[in-house]
């Protein structure tokens, strides 16, 4: 899995210009089973996405579709990890 950390590099007024397109991007990848969760960072300096993939190149290709990426609104940090301890409710994501 990958944790994707987004950090805005443009003012929130610019972020808000692309927020609906970003939500549409998220929805597309939830439907495909790529994303497990996402949300804003607090304070609102960016976001976090948990991606259900072991392929870094595939995650990078997904990110390239994000309107925030296309319009240089955010920087992205990818953190690959392997969950070894988790709540039983999370197991469908581990065993898929």
- CATH number for the domain spanning 80: value is 3.30.70.1060
Q: What is the pLDDT of residues 16-68, one digit of tens each?
A: 999 999 999 999 999 999 999 999 999 999 999 999 999 999 999 999 999 99
Q: What's the CA angle centered on 64, arms 90 and 95, to 5 degrees?
A: 20
Between 25 and 91, where is the model more confident? 25
Residues with Cβ within 8 Å of 4's Cβ and at least 6 positions away in sequence, in order, are: 48, 49, 50, 51, 59, 63, 76, 77, 78, 79
Q: Give the number of domains in the chain.
A: 1
Residue 96 has pLDDT above 70, yes or no: no
Q: Classify the phi-psi angles of 44: left when phi > 0, otherwise alpha if psi is within -120 to 50, otherwise beta.
A: beta
What's the pLDDT at 18?
Answer: 98
Domain hosting 61: range is 2-94
Residue 10 has pLDDT above 80, yes or no: yes
């Amino acid at each position: 899995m990958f944790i994707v950390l987004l950090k805005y590099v443009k003012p929130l007024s610019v972020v808000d210009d692309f927020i609906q397109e970003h939500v549409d991007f998220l929805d597309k990848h939830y439907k495909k089973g790529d994303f497990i969760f996402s949300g804003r960072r607090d304070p609102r300096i960016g976001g976090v996405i948990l991606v259900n993939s072991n392929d870094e190149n595939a995650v990078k290709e997904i990110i390239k579709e994000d309107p925030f990426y296309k319009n240089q609104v955010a920087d992205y940090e990818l953190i690959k990890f392997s969950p070894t301890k988790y709540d039983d409710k999370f197991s469908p994501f581990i065993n898929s």
